[in-house]
Chain A
Amino acid sequence: MSGLLEAKGLVKRFGGLSAVDDVSFSTGEREILGVIGPNGAGKSTLFNLITGTIPITAGTVHFDGKDITGLKPEQVANLGIVRTFQAATVFTEKTVQENIRIGYQFNQLGRPTSLFNRRRVKEFRRKAESLVTEVLDFVQLTSYRDRAAGELSYGRQKVLGVAMALAAGPRQLLMDEPAAGLNAVETERMGQLIKLIRDVKGIDVVLVEHDMAMVTSVCDRILVIDRGRLIAEGSPEEIQQNPDVIEAYLGVDLELD
């Protein structure tokens, strides 16, 4: 039942500020784990620590039993942890299908030396086409196949960001506010997509989100972070009734944040 990712005593200090302060958690197999908390709580920083985007002050990260503390982002990605970003991040000048192909390529041919492995390059090229088609279909962007990514609506760009991450073949997906900036309908669809990613693709997901309705409907378990500290953990129902959580969110409009 236990999942792949395990963080122990993670700490990140920016000068005097403890953005992440002694956070420990582990994921479950086939679990969608939610991470919530007010603005500036340290959620994105937590992802940055796991993926090696910024150096860790203290603590360790293990993935599939392997110590990955201090690895570089691309090494973490090559092991199977792929993240999406809070803002829509796609290569705007490339087409939708090129973006997805890039996601696959960057995972398969991430090291420059892999280009000298002709067999590997050939295999990549042979498989790329069908993978792109399959991912496009999965995220329902097939009709936008040849459009420049920059021309898509913000909501579709965020879906494309998820599609690129999927093309990279993750075992563990870290999604940073996939619904931020989306309207109600798009948020609903994003929630469905995240469930499908777990149910159909069998990928574990850690989901940072502000939208409480989405978090409670999608997540199996939720962590609450406030000012860098883990203050609560439990099922969506437990979290909604937890006095500490209500306290931390006092005066904060969860729905509209």
Chain B
Amino acid sequence: MTMRSVLLALGFVAIVVWPFLVDNTFYTHIGVSVWMFTILALSMNLMLRMGQLSLAHGAIMGLGAYTAALLMLRLDVPFLPAFICSGLVGALVAAITGPVMLRVKGVYFVLLTFAFGEIIVLMFIDWVSLFGGHNGIFGVPRAELFGFVLRDRSYSYLFALGLAALAYLILRWIYSTETGAVIDALHDDEDLARSLGVNALGYRIGIFIVSGFMAGIAGGFYASYFTFVTPESFTFWTAVDALVMNILGGIALPLGAVIGAVMLVPLPELLRDSQEYQILFYGLILIFFLKFLPDGVVGVIKSLSTDSSRSLGKRFMKILAWRQVK
């Protein structure tokens, strides 16, 4: 065994036994949040890879969260089906709105998804009888898998970790198949792709549906983990967080989304006492990365391990190009 695989194995074991290692509810909670947002960041990674930055993903996660909460509380649906429904609702929303929203690109798509997301959040706030208004919904039952209730945070941690790992493997698989080639082509040169026969809109909708499912699942987990759901957790800031995670980690690989979540999620938890500096800190990190490390952490690792690294950060800069061009 090489040094590298020993380190990887140790890292893997450390991640799995983390809650038992630290034996501290606060650190375990941070771990749970990290893996929960990893799912959202991975779902955002799918959108970014095909060149469409969605600000509706926070709201889609919210729809997943309210779905799970309402199904369990109002209709006494058991956790597992309710949880799966939260993903299905995310997918359904993508399937319905995708054919309209995905016709536009660049800044227009960003604005459209922003508006759509905020409408969803307004719906959570104003439809008090169903969604409970600003107070949201309290008393959501905890996750229960095959008769075993995840009352202990450590078990929630393992559940979240499992979900994140699954999402990660699914993304790896998608990118390695023919769909991955389409996603890259849609981003790089859609006209060329279509001239060769790709139904660009169809693929975009399909990818949005998968991404929406994952965002919904993140929400379903949220509801049962926190046992309450409030509207302000799902504004466009949540989508921005998922975006920033991808920038920090690098969007070229799904691993980037994971690394980004690991870097970003603990920050607000650790900086709780100095909230006013939090946004400033965010901004500084973001500027630093965009300016000096446009390929994120993954880009740095890549350029260290290969001599001829082609700039994958260009991909991201292209998405952001509307800021200069439009």
Contacts and interface: CB of A to CB of B under 8 A. Distances in A.
Interface of A: 51, 53, 72-74, 77-78, 82-83, 85, 89-94, 98, 101-103, 105-107, 109-113, 115, 121, 124, 148, 150, 164-165, 168
A107 B181 contact: no
A91 B198 contact: no
Contact of B310 (A73, A93, A105, A107): A93
Given A91-B185, A101-B181, 19 more contacts: A53-B195, A72-B199, A73-B195, A74-B198, A77-B197, A82-B195, A82-B197, A89-B192, A90-B192, A91-B189, A91-B192, A93-B312, A102-B196, A106-B196, A107-B197, A110-B196, A110-B199, A111-B199, A150-B310
Contacts of B195: 51, 53, 73-74, 77, 82-83, 85, 165
Contacts of B177: 115
A55 to B, nearest CB: 14
Nearest to A47: B195
B299 to A, nearest CB: 14
Contacts of A101: 181
B199 A74 contact: yes
Contacts of A93: 184, 188, 310, 312
Interface in B202-237: 202-203, 205-206
A74 B310 contact: no
A102 B185 contact: yes
Interface residues of B, number: 25
Contacts of B191: 53, 73, 85, 89
Contacts of A89: 189, 191-192
Contacts, number: 85
B188 A102 contact: no
Contacts of B70: none
Contact of B196 (A92, A98, A103): A103
A112 B199 contact: yes
A106 B185 contact: yes
Nearest to A104: B196
Contacts of A113: 202
Given A93-B188, A106-B185, A112 B196 contact: no
Kindly list the 3 A-B residue pairs having the minimum CB-CB distance in the complex, ordered from nearest. A77-B197, A106-B196, A110-B197
Contacts of A124: 178
9 contacts: A72-B194, A73-B194, A78-B197, A89-B191, A94-B184, A106-B193, A111-B202, A124-B178, A148-B310
B181 A98 contact: yes
B194 to A, nearest CB: 4
A73 B197 CA distance: 7
B182 interface: yes
B179 A115 contact: yes
B200 interface: yes
B222 to A, nearest CB: 29
A74 B185 contact: no
Contacts of A150: 310
A102 B181 contact: yes
Nearest to A167: B196
A165 B197 CA distance: 10
B196 A107 contact: yes
A83 B184 CA distance: 20
A112 B203 contact: yes
Nearest to A125: B178
A106 B183 CA distance: 12
Interface string B148-188: 00000000000000000000000000000111011011001
Nearest to B194: A73
